[in-house]
Amino acid sequence: MRLIKYEKEKLNSYFCTSKNSSRMKLSQFKFNLPESLVANNPAEQRDEARLMVLHKDSGKIEHKIFKDVLGYFDDKDVMILNNTKVFPARLYGNKEKTGATIEVFLLRELNKELRLWDVLVDPARKIRVGNKLYFGDDDLLVAEVVDNTTSRGRTIRFLFEGTDEEFRKNVEILGETPLPKYIKRKATAEDKERYQTIFAKHEGAVAAPTAGLHFSRELMKRLELKGVEFAEVTLHVGLGTFRTVEVEDLTKHKMDSEQFIIEQKDANIVNKAIEDRKKICAVGTTSMRAIESAVSANRTLKAANDWTSKFIFPPYDFSIANAMITNFHTPESTLLMMVSAFGGYENVMNAYEVAVKEKYKFYSYGDAMLII
């Protein structure tokens, strides 16, 4: 009888999650973050950033170095990596006639043949439909504005006659690594390598899946030798990852949609680990978002090629991963909300208080947290 009551309570909790989630408010994710703790540069070595380990059952906290993650995983455990690749999305061009400098941030390609792109422009007030923009000293690329999408958003068409390969090569030459605006410096040649995971494969992200930045080739090899398996997913991170939440009632916040792909072979690796009751670690909020957007009726992972606008915040019942690696996130961000849902709101907010006190570095180039 007790078991039936427990199962009933569990089911009620599962089905009422979205209804009860109105209890969590934006202001509950506020904390004081000194500007000095925002990381402007990566750690000298990828795997030597600091690592906070949070045990979600007890709330216990350990202070380690990232490569110590090796000690928390065993044979046949699985790490789920996001293999999206950041492209040099930030271009600087000049407006025809006036020569005014315009920043164009490439968001996504809408049509490969027509070379139509969804972009943000700055300053937007100067850019109207019909304007031409010139990029590079020799006008290596020229684009025409064909539509207004939002106050800063535009659709542009690149007027380029060559092959797709030549076009992308020119974007590579002209484009800058799209460091987030809170990094108060210009992107350098080092950023081209460091604001990219070592397992990046499929181009399409305008922001890095930052938890993955801590993995070095040496650490990956040592994990492999220990028997840890890797499953890959692709979620092309959009600028929505930085979008602020502007409503106190979290149920009213709408996430931007992001494309994700999960191959059958990777779903099989994860499902075998579920069956064998192994550790399954989502590396980053983007990996977690992808897998939670592809859960089958029997709570296993399914192959998918889709778009997700899933917003995860407490309380939430996770289906696939039982461990998570993540960076330290912004106050009141959707990323902090997801992490709080996974690690427990009180545990995570306490851990963030400790992180500030212990001077952990925050954001994209910052330190890491393992929730286990």
Is the bond into 178 cis (omega within 30 degrees of 0)? Answer: no
Residue 123, Cβ density class (10 Å: 0-12 exposed, 13-18 middle, ≥19 buried)? exposed
User: What span, in angstroms and rounded, lies between the C-alpha atoms of 75 and 318?
Assistant: 23
Backbone angles phi, psi at 31, to 5 degrees: -155, 160
Run of H or E including 230:
strand 229-235
With a cut of 70, list the residues of the chain below it in pLDDT. Answer: 1-22
* Predicted pLDDT at 23: 74
Cα separations in angstroms, 29 against 136, 313, 347: 43, 11, 13
In 3-state terms, what secondary structure has residue 200? coil
Rounded to two decimals, the pTM is: 0.88
* Predicted pLDDT at 303: 98
Q: Which residues have C-beta within 8 Å of that of residue 25, sequence separation ≥ 6?
A: 248, 249, 250
Per-residue pLDDT reduced to its tens digit, 154-194:
999 999 999 999 999 999 999 999 998 889 899 999 999 99
Per-residue pLDDT reduced to its tens digit, 6-51:
343 444 433 334 334 447 899 999 999 999 999 999 999 999 999 9
* Predicted pLDDT at 14: 38
* Predicted pLDDT at 137: 84
- Three-state secondary structure readout of 270-286: HHHHHHCCCCEEEECHH
- DSSP codes of every residue in 77-125: -EEEEE-EEE---EEEEEETTT--EEEEEEEEEEETTTTEEEEEEESGG
Q: Which residues have C-beta within 8 Å of that of residue 52, sequence separation ≥ 6?
A: 61, 62, 63, 64, 351, 354, 355, 360, 367, 368, 369, 370
Determine contact, residues 135/96, Cβ cutoff 8 Å: no
* Predicted pLDDT at 99: 86
Residue 332, Cβ density class (10 Å: 0-12 exposed, 13-18 middle, ≥19 buried)? middle
Domains of the chain plus CATH, in order, are 29-86+192-371 (3.40.1780.10), 90-176 (2.40.10.240)
Bridge-based pairing of strands 202-205 and 153-158 is: unpaired
> Order of strands across the sheet with 258-262?
61-65, 50-54, 368-371, 323-327, 280-283, 78-82, 229-235, 258-262, 304-308
